Each structure stands twice: as structure tokens, then as C-alpha cells.
Amino acid sequence: MAKIPHRLYLTEDQMPKQWYNLRADMKEQPDPMINPATMKPATEEDLYPVFCKKLAHQEMDAQTRYVDIPDEVLEMYKMYRPSPLIRAYNLEKALGTPAKIYYKFEGNNTSGSHKLNSAIAQAYYAKDQGLTSLTTETGAGQWGTALAEACSYFGIPLTVYMVKVSYQQKPFRKAIIETFDGKVIPSPSDTTEIGRKILAENPNTSGSLGCAISEAVEKAVTTEGCRYVLGSVLNQVLLHQSIIGLESKIAMEMLDEYPDIVIGCAGGGSNLGGLIAPFMQDKITGKADPRIIAVEPASCPSLTRGRYAYDYCDTGKVAPMARMYTLGSGFIPSANHAGGLRYHGMSPILSKLYHDGYMEAVAVEQTKVFEAATMFAKLETILPAPESSHAIRTAIDEALKCKETGEAKTILFGLTGTGYFDMAAYSAFLAGSMKDYIPTDEDLKRGFDGLPKIPGIQE
Amino acid sequence: MAKIPHRLYLTEDQMPKQWYNLRADMKEQPDPMINPATMKPATEEDLYPVFCKKLAHQEMDAQTRYVDIPDEVLEMYKMYRPSPLIRAYNLEKALGTPAKIYYKFEGNNTSGSHKLNSAIAQAYYAKDQGLTSLTTETGAGQWGTALAEACSYFGIPLTVYMVKVSYQQKPFRKAIIETFDGKVIPSPSDTTEIGRKILAENPNTSGSLGCAISEAVEKAVTTEGCRYVLGSVLNQVLLHQSIIGLESKIAMEMLDEYPDIVIGCAGGGSNLGGLIAPFMQDKITGKADPRIIAVEPASCPSLTRGRYAYDYCDTGKVAPMARMYTLGSGFIPSANHAGGLRYHGMSPILSKLYHDGYMEAVAVEQTKVFEAATMFAKLETILPAPESSHAIRTAIDEALKCKETGEAKTILFGLTGTGYFDMAAYSAFLAGSMKDYIPTDEDLKRGFDGLPKIPGIQE
């Protein structure tokens, strides 16, 4: 019998009462956002038309190390948090590794992922400011579901622009969002100027995440009392998601453990940034030196093959530009890529940390990811989301290296969500019809050619 | 801020190490099963061709009050148990009731329901006896998923006969079962005699649960080293599911609470029997007097409108007959009935307790159930399974009665699972196209006419 329990739940009392702002400890800050209208660094006020004030402040605030979590947010967190830290005993045994593998599981809520952590905060601040509606976009649907849950709880109407292909292929995701009173519109749509323009140019388009973002932003800035909210990439999102890492660290301390390696999947960076936050703090401040690994799909390799450059965050080019690892805002991963992690860029905070050598990154192919996912499901009896399974893949690979070297390293990875709405991809994998896709240098060049020119900054 | 936490998780150490066998405390026992081949009471040995030996023993054993949970089963339980006891603060507030509402949530595992509790036990005992394969049937798919998880864990091959209409309509359920290495066959099939017979008579049939049971049983008794396993109705299943009630009782004791009312949804009775076990023990032994309420669909009202009579447990009439509340083995609920809870009979243990006045029963219509489900989802941020939502409906109704009377009763209900695979039903409800269905007396008479004649017992 094991001394360390399979699952460790903190009590409500042990839950962090503050988020942690990693920027406060970074030796160098990410470069400032650029307002595309002025081509000058964006100010907090520049963000007010898009974000509510408190969130605009959080976006720009690099000084405040710890930010109090509002009571109302904590109350809703308590409906599904603290999330468990799980020891992967069966996976360890099956691999025959001396490594100890832990994972922080964020999938035990109806949205099915960690996205709820930021959705709650963003819906709360919007309500608190007296806003009367919100807009967002969703691709695979986890973010849309999470935000619909949060908006329903705080009583604020929500419109979700859902990438048309997802709207058509994932009617059940749409149904969940509607159960939580969210209004779902397939994107591109005729409700926005950018949508109408794209439809006029290409009436049969299946849509893209960038286009859905542009529609949601346009709707927000042109509607009284309405703002836009985004589930990843942003500094504010990483702040809210720090709850994942803070809880993980407390739980590991209770077990007298500290990770040698911290692994997270990386799309826009929300989960990775949240999970690693307190461990990165230790690394930056010299208290500890864990390896921190971002895992991205080989089909959308922003860190491993992207450029560290200023880029548009949305296809419509209305939101502020950010310096980040990017494939170019025109880059669209192959249609056969399953699940999320398909954003062209990466959180500016994580991009800076990677650029400065604090973090490693690996890209993995999706058949290898689904191999890991099915193995994990059978051993740990949790059906993982394709996104999360990128982290599983690398955790397994690192544990196998430990087997070779005989090192009993402690590995922590983020299991961000469940895969119940991704069974079409699982079926394709089981049937042997899943393909891998690695963009050619030519593919990437097309994306890079679309990077913006900013006088005096990026010519 | 609340003094009682939103969610209470027992620690691993606090987990029950024994199941509780309610029969040991019952004043009168359920009538014996009848072997349809001999028309005599079935013996433990009669069950050996169908069930493995330890399970046949558990099925017949009315004496042993507490049964040790094997270490191997406990180890797998620890991968998703203890399950949380949750205080429904938001639901209470929205209802404006003085009642305290608690629910035991069994949906946080990949099978999505409580079914895993018995699946693990049954797969373990089969493996322990050296059996080489198992068969079962599944309708909505929760049981098939749970058993596939358990069989995958213990390394025993599984064949699942899936009602053909579910096989066609729920490809994702099938995909999950296959992810856990289960073999899924649409029923009726040409792999059994009964299947071939039904197909010959009606090539276009969409199948039924009774037929799938018959195919699975036939396959088991005609295959070397193979046995059949069932996810509900049986005494052994109620024994395994007692873990739900035992954990609930420990958690409530920690909160210094005891339920005035215990509510569970009832199809075959697996969840209800498990949840109420220790509270029913108190009631039978005079230690306490909680009200215990079974909630069934108005479309399949075995307790509220069925007969207490001997009946076949399967359409193929090969399994032993049991005395239970039944609508007749030929009864099939309307096709527009969503989710599970569509079995024609009810656990013999629960039937006996209901017959002897220890338990109440109510039947609810499905539009009222989905009203409760969507309200609950929005307030408690868990998307409930349609089955579980029957219990939610009645918990809400009882809480509203408390509002009228001003009584601060303590209500405990079982939230057996999540509804991610039932979004088609949610969509129908949201679109206003969901219909109710209440069988006529004529409908019921047709079912009762098919009850078996047993010389000297039921003429």
C-alpha cells in the first residue's frame, strides 16, 4: 500500500486567497503591447473599450506580486476547487520508471477544463463594473462552455462566436453553452462588419479562431455596456490561472515533494503559465531550479519554430499587437489537427521566459499524443483531452529517460481537461486513420511574411 | 462565508474497507429467485454458469452483514474515490428554502457515473477466478463504459452488446468503450442464437435492453471461461454500491448532520440501493427514521404502477426469475424517453423494502426532470445526467415543501452521473420539442399479461 495517497485534495481553508503575478518577479519584462491605431505602446486606457477596467489594469500591472481573489470568485471556485493532485502510480508501474509522476487534474468541472478559473474572474469583474453583456469566441468549445457557466452564475448575458466548423461538428458543445444560457453564433456571421466582409469574399469558409476573435471584439466595442473576454494568451489569464500552480505547490509541500520537472501543454499558454507560476518564481529568484517544459503540437509549433516578433493577436487586426513567439496571424494549422492548441501565437510572458532561457519547449506529433492518451486512460482511468495529452506524452518520455538513467526524478504535469467531446479524434486514432502533419518551412514562411511592420520597432 | 464546506472529501484512510449487505438487517427477506429450467428456487450453484463463484455467493448471501472489499478493488477505488459530498448552497438560496440540501456526486470518473463501483468488483472477482472473458449489455452506455474501464484495468477481455439504436446514435460512447479495449457489438446480432432469431423475425429492429441482456447471457454460458456481468438490479450490485451510502454517512457525521430525507433515482436500483443502505439500516433497526424516496420516470413506473410479482429479468427468459416490482419483461418505454431508468423491473431488495413500507416512491415526467436539470446545472455548475436529474427534481420539490412549512429539513440525494453524452436530450428540452409520455393502463396490461406462470407460486 502506498503511503502517499492517490489523490490529494486541499481543504477549502488551504485554498490560496491570492493569485500570483509572475511579472513581479521577472528580471526583464515582456515588451509592451502596441496599439495598432497609433503604432505606440498601448496604455491601460487604450484597453478600456475592449476589456473592463479591472481586467485592463491586471493586463498592464507588472508590479503587484499577489492579487487578492475577490470573495465572489472564491465562492464559485469552491464549487469545483481545490482540484486534486494525483500520483500516477499505475502509469509509473507500467513504465517501470523510478520517476515519481504527479499530475494536477483540472477536468472535474462541467466545462471540462482549467478554462473556468479565468472565466469566473472575468465574468465577475465585468458584472462588478456594471457591464450588461460579454462576447467571446470559442474553437473546440472548452472556453465557451467555461465562460457560459461563469456568466450564468453571475447573471450576465453572453454571446459566443463559435468557429463555424466547430458549430457544425460539435452540436453538443453548443447545446451545453445554451444550457447555460449562452447565445452561440457560427463565425463568420452577418452580425459584424468583419464577418460580412469575410463571408462576401468566401461564402463557404468554415471559419477560423482568428476570425471569431475579430467578430467578438468588434461586437464588444460597438455594443453599449459590452466587453470582450479571452480565455488564453493574456497576462490577466495567466494571473487567474496561477491558482493551478499555487494549489499544486501547497499540495506537493504537504507531501514533502518538489518537482524536478514541470510539464504543461501550450496553446496560448493559459494552463502552462498558471501551472508553472510559483515554480518559475523559485527558478527566477534562485530558490530552486526545476526544468520547465512547454509541449506544443508539431502542427502548430509557435515556440519551437516560430519567430519572437510583434504580431497581431487576431486576424481582424483590431486588438493590440504583442511581441511573442508566433507563426504569423495568418497561420492556420492543418484541418486534421485534433483539439485545441491551434493559436498562432503564445502568451507574451511565456514567450519572454522562453526567449530568456527559463523554459524549454518540445513539439510532439498527434499520433504519439494519442498513443499516450489511450495508455494513460487505461492506466489512470481518466480520459484526457487531446490538449492535455501533449503533456502526458512528454511526461512519459521524461519518465522513460529516468528509467534509462535510473534517476528517481519527481515529475509534475498539468492534466488540463477531459476528452469526452473529442471522441471523433479518439475514434480516428483507434481506427488507424489519424494522420500527422508538420508544416514545411514554406508553410511557415507564408505566416512570417504577414508579420506587421511597426515604425522604429519592427521594420 | 459558509462554515460547512461546499465539498467534503474523505481522505483515503477514511474510506470504508467493507461493503454493507442490507439483507443482513432486513426483517423479512426478498423471495428466492426461481430457476426457469426447474421452476424451483435457484441455488448458488445454479448461478455458476452465469456468474463467477464469489459473485454467485454474494448474490445469495443474506447473512454476512459486512463484506471485506478486496485490496485490489480498494486500490482501483482510490483512483476516483472517495467521491465528494456537496452542499447545494446555491440551489438552496435560489429556492429560498430553509432546507439543507446535500448531494453525493458519483460522476467524477471517466465512466461518468456510479456504475464503476460495481464494475470494478465484478471484473476483479472474474479475474481472480481465472476467467478469461466477460460479456455484458449496455443501453445508454454508462455501464458499458464503466465495465470496459474495469476490465482494461484488470486485463480481462470484454464484449459489450450495445442496444442497436444506442450503437447508432451514440458513436462516442462506443468509442470510449473501445478506447478501453472493449469489443462493442450492436444488438441484436448474428453472434447468438437469440440474436439471429430476433433478426430473422424483425430485421429492422432497433434492439432493446432485454434482448441485449439475453445475447450477453447466451454468449457467456456458451463460451469457455466466460461469464456475464450486470450493472444493476442484482443483490451483489447493491452490495458493491453500498460504498456510496457508507461514504455519505461518514461525511455527514463529520458535519454533524443526519438526513431527514434520502432521495435517489431508481431504474434497476443500483444507485438507490447503494445510497440508502446505511440509512435504511438505521431505519430497520430503529436507530433513526429518515424518509427514503425512490424517484422513477413516469414513462417507466415500475414501483408506482408495477406489480409485485415474479418476472423474467431478461427478454430471452434464460436468467433466473425474481420477485420484484415489474411492468412485465415485454414492457418497453416510449422511444422519446431520454437516458436510462428504462428497465422493466426493480431490484428485489428494494422491491421488498418498498412492499413492506420502508420506502416511498414517486414518478416524475421528463420535462419536469429537465427543468430541474438545467436549473441545477446553472446553480451548481455540474451538468447532471438525465437519470440523476430525477432525484434532483424530487429534492427540489421536497425543499419547496420545506419552504412552505418553514421546516429546516436535511435532504440528501444521489447525483449519480454527468450528462455529457445526453446533450441531444438537453437540446430537445431547450428547443421545446421534448415530450412527456405516461403509459396507459392498457399499455401496462400488455406487460402484465406476459408475467410468467410458476406452478404453486404464481399461477
Residues of B in contact with A374 (CB under 8 A): 179
Q: Do A110 and B418 touch (CB under 8 A)?
A: yes
**Average model confidence (pLDDT) for chain A?**
94
Tell how strand A307-311 and strand A322-326 pair up. antiparallel
Min distance A175 CA to chain B CA atoms (Å) = 6
Residues of B in contact with A78 (CB under 8 A): 5-7
- Pick the residue of A3, A69, A79 with the most B CBs within 10 A to test the interface with B by mutation: A79
- Pairwise CA distance, residues B48 & B220, whole Å: 11
Of A426, A339, A34, residue with least CA distance to B180: A426
pLDDT at B1: 39
Residues of B in contact with A171 (CB under 8 A): 423, 427
Q: Is residue A80 scored above 90 in pLDDT?
A: yes
- Pairwise CA distance, residues B18 & A357, whole Å: 53
A354 close to A153: Cβ distance less than 8 angstroms: no
Tell how strand A85-87 and strand A7-8 pair up. antiparallel
**Each residue of A29-55: pLDDT tens digit?**
999 999 988 999 999 999 998 889 999
Q: Do A430 and B178 touch (CB under 8 A)?
A: yes
Kindly tell me the number of DSSP H helices and DSSP E strands found in chain A. Answer: 17, 17
Q: At what angle do helices B235-254 and B53-60 cross, to 10 degrees?
A: 70
Q: Do A427 and B149 touch (CB under 8 A)?
A: no
**Each residue of A322-373: pLDDT tens digit?**
999 999 988 877 777 767 788 899 999 999 999 999 999 999 999 999 999 9
Q: Is residue A195 scored above 50 in pLDDT?
A: yes
Phi first, then psi: give them for residue B133, nearest 5 degrees. Answer: -165, 160
Report percent pLDDT > 70 for chain B.
99
**Each residue of B365-403: pLDDT tens digit?**
999 999 999 999 999 989 999 999 999 999 999 999 999
- Cell, residue A386: 487531446
- Cell, residue B310: 415474479
**Each residue of B233-248: pLDDT tens digit?**
999 999 999 999 999 9
**Average model confidence (pLDDT) for chain B?**
94
Q: Do A423 and B374 touch (CB under 8 A)?
A: no
Q: At what angle do helices A209-221 and A193-201 cross, to 10 degrees?
A: 140
Q: Which of B5, B382, B423 sits opposite A11 (nearest CB)?
A: B5
pLDDT at A169: 81
Q: Which of B418, B421, B430 sits opposite A178 (nearest CB)?
A: B430
Q: Do B110 and A383 touch (CB under 8 A)?
A: yes
Q: Do B9 and A9 touch (CB under 8 A)?
A: yes
pLDDT at B207: 86
Q: Which of B11, B79, B418 sits opposite A380 (nearest CB)?
A: B79
Residues of A in contact with B123 (CB under 8 A): none
A213 close to A332: Cβ distance less than 8 angstroms: no
- Pairwise CA distance, residues B80 & B87, whole Å: 20
- Pairwise CA distance, residues A321 & B11, whole Å: 48
Phi first, then psi: give them for residue B418, nearest 5 degrees. Answer: -105, 160
Tell how strand A100-105 and strand A410-415 pair up. parallel
**Each residue of A131-167: pLDDT tens digit?**
999 999 988 789 999 999 999 999 999 999 998 988 8
Residues of A in contact with B426 (CB under 8 A): 175-176, 179
Q: At what angle do helices B235-254 and B270-284 cross, to 10 degrees?
A: 60
Q: Which of A171, A179, A383 sits opposite B377 (nearest CB)?
A: A179
A380 close to A331: Cβ distance less than 8 angstroms: no
Of B96, B100, B85, residue with least CA distance to B411: B100
Min distance B23 CA to chain A CA atoms (Å) = 31
**Each residue of B34-65: pLDDT tens digit?**
998 899 999 999 999 888 999 999 999 999 99
Residues of B in contact with A426 (CB under 8 A): 175-176, 179
Residues of B in contact with A71 (CB under 8 A): 1
Min distance B124 CA to chain A CA atoms (Å) = 15
The predicted model gives B88-110 an average pLDDT of 96
**Each residue of B272-282: pLDDT tens digit?**
999 999 999 99
The predicted model gives A90-102 an average pLDDT of 97
Q: Which of B6, B149, B427 sits opposite A78 (nearest CB)?
A: B6
- Pairwise CA distance, residues A450 & B7, whole Å: 50
Q: Which residue has the cell 451538468?
A: B383
Q: Do A381 and B1 touch (CB under 8 A)?
A: no
- Cell, residue A30: 515582456
Min distance B155 CA to chain A CA atoms (Å) = 10
The predicted model gives A164-172 an average pLDDT of 85
DSSP-assigned states of every residue in A302-352: HHHHSEEEEE-SSTT--SPBEEEEES-TT----TT--SS---SS--HHHHH
pLDDT at B258: 98
Tell how strand B261-265 and strand B291-297 pair up. parallel
Residues of A in contact with B424 (CB under 8 A): 172, 175
Residues contacting B256, CB < 8 A, separation 6+:
none
Min distance B344 CA to chain A CA atoms (Å) = 29
Which residue in chain B has the smallest CA separation from A178? B430
Contacting A with CB below 8 Å, chain B residues are: 1, 5-7, 9, 11-12, 71, 76, 78-80, 90, 108-110, 112, 116, 149, 152-153, 171-172, 175-176, 178-181, 374, 377-383, 418, 420-421, 423-424, 426-427, 430
pLDDT at B262: 98
The predicted model gives B72-96 an average pLDDT of 96
Min distance B87 CA to chain A CA atoms (Å) = 9
Q: Is residue A174 scored above 80 in pLDDT?
A: yes
Residues contacting A416, CB < 8 A, separation 6+:
A106, A107, A113, A114, A264, A265, A271, A385, A387, A388, A391
Residues contacting B126, CB < 8 A, separation 6+:
B52, B55, B134, B154, B156, B227, B229
pLDDT at A314: 80
Which residue in chain A has the smallest CA separation from B7? A79
In this prediction the pTM is: 0.94
Contacting B with CB below 8 Å, chain A residues are: 1, 5-7, 9, 11-12, 71, 76, 78-80, 90, 108-110, 112, 116, 149, 152-153, 171-172, 175-176, 178-181, 374, 377-383, 418, 420-421, 423-424, 426-427, 430
The predicted model gives A214-234 an average pLDDT of 93
Q: Do B377 and A180 touch (CB under 8 A)?
A: yes
Q: Is residue B337 scored above 80 in pLDDT?
A: no
DSSP-assigned states of every residue in B374-417: HHHHHHHS--B-HHHHHHHHHHHHHHHHHHHHT---EEEEEE-B
**Each residue of A240-279: pLDDT tens digit?**
999 999 999 999 999 999 999 999 999 999 999 999 999 9
What number of CA atoms fall less than 13 Å from residue A210's CA on the CB side? 20
Give the DSSP H or E segment for A85.
strand A85-87
pLDDT at A1: 39
* Partners of residue A414 on adjacent β-strands: A104
Residues of B in contact with A379 (CB under 8 A): 153
Q: Is residue B288 scored above 70 in pLDDT?
A: yes
- Cell, residue B108: 467524477
Q: Do B6 and A149 touch (CB under 8 A)?
A: no
Phi first, then psi: give them for residue A158, nearest 5 degrees. Answer: -130, 135
Q: Residue A95 CA to chain centroid, in angstroms?
A: 28
Q: Which of A79, A379, A423 sits opposite B6 (nearest CB)?
A: A79
Query: What is the residue type of B89?
Result: Y
Q: Do B172 and A381 touch (CB under 8 A)?
A: no
Residues contacting B59, CB < 8 A, separation 6+:
B44, B47, B51, B234, B235, B236
Which residue in chain B has the smallest CA separation from A1? B75
**Each residue of B291-330: pLDDT tens digit?**
999 999 999 999 999 999 999 988 778 788 999 999 998 8
Which residue in chain A has the smallest CA separation from B148? A378
Residues of A in contact with B112 (CB under 8 A): 420
Q: Is residue A238 scored above 50 in pLDDT?
A: yes
- Cell, residue A431: 481506427
Q: Which of A71, A152, A430 sits opposite B378 (nearest CB)?
A: A152
Query: What is the residue type of B104?
Result: K
* Cis-peptide, bond into residue A98, ω within 30° of zero: no
Min distance A442 CA to chain B CA atoms (Å) = 37
* Partners of residue B183 on adjacent β-strands: B159
DSSP-assigned states of every residue in B77-91: HTTT-SPPEEE-HHH
pLDDT at A140: 78
Q: Is residue B7 scored above 80 in pLDDT?
A: yes
Question: Which ipTM score applies to this complex?
Answer: 0.92
Phi first, then psi: give them for residue B240, nearest 5 degrees. Answer: -65, -40
Min distance A384 CA to chain B CA atoms (Å) = 9
Residues of A in contact with B108 (CB under 8 A): 108
